[in-house]
Amino acid sequence: MAMAGGSSFEDEIVESDIELEGEVVEPDNDPPQKMGDPSAEVSNEKFDQSQLAKKEGVDAISEGKLDEAIEHLTEAVVLNPTSAIVYAARASVFVKSKKPNAAIRDADAALKINPDSAKGYKSRGMAKAMLGKWEEAAQDLRMAAKLDYDEEIAAELKKVEPNVLKIEEHRRKYERLRKERDMKKAEMEKQRKHAEEISAASAVLKDGDVIAIHSSSELESKLKAASTLSRLAVLYFTAGWCGPCRFIGPVCKSLAEKHRNVVFLKVDIDELNSVAYRWNVSSVPSFFFVRNGKEIDKVVGADKNGLERKLAQHGSS
């Protein structure tokens, strides 16, 4: 019984072993077998000699003399290096000799000469199965069956395909687990960043107080913080020379203390004329009710009752 897997993933995802059927062999690390010169010209005499050597090789295979068969087929390859059949035949002998790497080299040579060599695909598929390369083996054997089906290919596929199915199921399982892990990590990172934003936003606001604004950038920072905390902001425009503003100022402070979840921001139009212009302030005091950076309502004048109604209407929404 062969085993596959055993590698580990990050973040405590450990891939289990897969129980696979079928024996695998140790890779053959012999020096590469002698190959023919593909640029050599094959005369009629060499072709005939190659055919004779191939026949002797096939006869040796039938007698179970594998080493002798390889010698004859090697002679045939050297005499006629343009024959995919000879390479494929020698590849089949290497398979029988349990030399899968040598078989793969010959099968590759056969398929380079003839991309439709069924015997080339068959030998290479069987060799890759011997090395435990089940998915590659199945691919080659399926192609061999498509080109020239035989019972030996069918029998080999019956051994290989169940392992391929197990590997594919195993891969899908751990791809799903990795995806779930990555989604969880992304969600945790999102929550961490949100918590940081909440903390940073809370740090720039003063609950229960009216915050005096002295620059356009400070106003944007405070409004952004209010949006991050999903709070209503009341933007209060005033002026030092304005009598009603002096009257409504203590009222705003009292309302801020009462509605601690509402952000009260005070802007002096003489200090920040450009901000007043941008908000289309035509008179003071003016109160803009802002949620998520957008104006949702407005009170103009020192209207204490109006302010309280708007706060009741929007403060908890």
Is pLDDT above 90 for 3? no
**What pLDDT shows up at residue 21?**
82
Domain at 158, CATH number: 1.25.40.10
Of 150, 171, 192, the residue at which a domain comes to its end is 171
Q: Distance between CA atoms of 66 and 85, rounded to whole angstroms?
A: 17
pLDDT at 167 exceeding the cut of 60? yes
Give percent of the chain with pLDDT exceeding 70.
96
Is residue 43 domain-resident?
Answer: yes
CA distance 253 to 269: 19
Structure confidence at residue 6 (pLDDT): 42
Verify that 20 and 159 share a domain, yes or no: yes
* Spatial contact of 102 and 131, defined as CB atoms under 8 Å apart: no
Give the number of other CB atoms < 10 A from CB of residue 258.
12
Could you say which of 140, 171, 202 is where a domain stops? 171
- Is 118 in the same domain as 34? yes
Same domain, 19 and 127: yes
pLDDT band at 198 (very low <50, low <70, confident <90, very high): confident
pLDDT at 20: 83
Domain containing 277 equals: 210-314
* CA-derived radius of gyration, the chain: 41
284-302 pLDDT per residue, tens: 999 999 999 999 999 999 9
pLDDT score at 27: 93
Each residue's pLDDT tens digit, 69-94 = 999 999 999 999 999 999 999 999 99
Give the domain CATH number at 251.
3.40.30.10
* pLDDT (0 to 100) of residue 38: 81
Please check whether residues 214 and 157 belong to one and the same domain: no
Q: List phi, psi (to 5°) of 222.
A: -70, -40
Mean pLDDT rounded to a whole number for the chain: 92
The CA-atom distances, in angstroms, between 141 and each of 98, 126, 197 are 17, 7, 58
- Give me the mean pLDDT over the 63-68 stretch: 95
pLDDT at position 14, please? Answer: 78
Q: Is the pLDDT score of 220 beyond 50? A: yes
Listed residues 171, 196, 221: the one ending a domain: 171
Cβ neighbors of 224 (< 8 A, separation 6 or more) are: 201, 293
Q: Which residue is associated with the tokens 């053959």?
A: 28
Of the ranges 4-18, 97-111, 180-194, 290-304, which one carries the lowest mean pLDDT score? Answer: 4-18
Structure-model confidence comparison of residues 104 and 1, the more confident one: 104
Structural domains of the chain, count: 2
Go through 199-233 and write b for each residue having 16 or more CB atoms within 10 A of its CB, e for each that does not.
eebeeebeeeebbebeeeebbebbbbbbbbeebbb
Same domain, 108 and 230: no
> Exposed, middle or buried: residue 240 (CB in 10 Å: 0-12, 13-18, 19+)?
exposed
User: What pLDDT score does 8 carry?
Assistant: 41
Look at the pTM and tell me if it is higher than 0.95. no
Q: What is the pLDDT of residue 9?
A: 40
More confident residue, 151 or 1: 151
Active site positions, annotated? 242, 245
Q: Which residues, 6+ apart, have CB-to-CB distance to 277 below 8 Å?
A: none
Compute the distance between CA of residue 273 and CA of residue 267 in angstroms, rounded to an integer.
9
